[in-house]
Amino acid sequence: MLDRPGWAPKQIDLSRPSAARVYDYLLGGGCNTAVDRELAKRLVDAMPQVRDTVWLNRKFLRRVVAFLVGQGITQFLDIGSGIPSVGNVHQLAQGLDPECRVVYVDNDPIAVAYAEPLLRDNKLATAVLADFRSPAQVLHAPEVRALIDFDRPVAVLTLMMMHFVPDAADPARLMGRYRDALAPGSYVALSHPSFTGAEGELLADAQAIGAIVEDTMEPLYPRTAHELLRIIAGFDPVPPGLVHLPLWRPDSAADVGRHPESSLVYGVVATKP
């Protein structure tokens, strides 16, 4: 019988790994179990840059939030937010502008349960249990409507989340539902694994990653740059466009490194005209 940590709600199955908890472990967090840690280690063994990639995504998040606040954005809808850890959106945004409002959305009850006590004393941030694939559920959640004014620009963040949305769910159509709900001047930010080589072929170690994940939790759906641009159709990418994470508005040349493409993850920020 599994020992149940104090942070885990009774209804949560801890016998299977969770994407949110694996990500938490790779970031050095404490909201994970032995099965999550075992899967994370298998992923790192198959593709050693996995750990670096989650940190690159974290740095991308920081740069994105700073950019958006600099553009006057004070409302953030972080979909697929995962388990809150140090340097999350509300901390970053409210550190730059205390009036920023942040709603975290995740379909993992543990992510929401862990966020609730962290945000209890923050009147401008909350967490909602909902799924990106149900736009009406997200957009009309009472907690969302209480904090987000859709008549004003909003930033929708979908970082390292869309690769769990299958093609059959039509992520471009779903993103279009969110786009239609946003005021002009709003933004979407996306980061997404590609796992493809120079000729567009799926890399061998990426195939191993896919097999490991599909055997233990949700399948992965890596996509090409062209496919990602189709998902955000109707938004205009801001410079430098869709690029590998280290290339998106780096703080210094040292942040880019010699092989930015080794991150195997694309990032983009785009605005609604």
pLDDT value of residue 11: 55
- In the predicted model, residues of the chain with pLDDT beneath 50 are 1-2, 197-204
pLDDT of residue 169: 96
Give the separation between CA 223 and CA 258, rounded to whole angstroms: 23
Residues whose CB falls within 8 Å of the CB of residue 249, separated by 6 or more in sequence, listed in order: 63, 67, 240
Cα(98)–Cα(137) distance, integer angstroms: 28
φ, ψ at 151 (rounded to 5°): -85, -10
pTM as predicted:
0.86
pLDDT of residue 224: 87
Question: What is the predicted pLDDT for the residue at 269?
Answer: 98
